[in-house]
Amino acid sequence: MATTIRAGAVGAEPLQLRVAEVVPGTFRVDIDTHTIGYVVRAGRVYVTLEGRVYNTSVEIAQSLDLDAAVDALR
């Protein structure tokens, strides 16, 4: 499953964020072909990780829904 979310400043060309579930409960977030981070479902919480490689990514946010977790990577 992949979802495209528009992000960016008002009046600017919106960035195309692509969200794909790579394994159950773990989502990769890409801009074009570049990975910018991951979102991991931990119970009812979505944990946002920033970084190109999963095992070296850094937690930057926790949210109660997937959209908010992805928005933290903007």
pLDDT tens over the chain, length 74 residues: 566 555 554 556 667 899 999 999 999 999 988 999 999 999 999 999 999 999 999 999 999 999 999 999 98
Distances (CA, A) of 3 to 52, 55, 56, 66, 67: 19, 23, 24, 11, 11
> pTM higher than 0.85 for the full model?
no
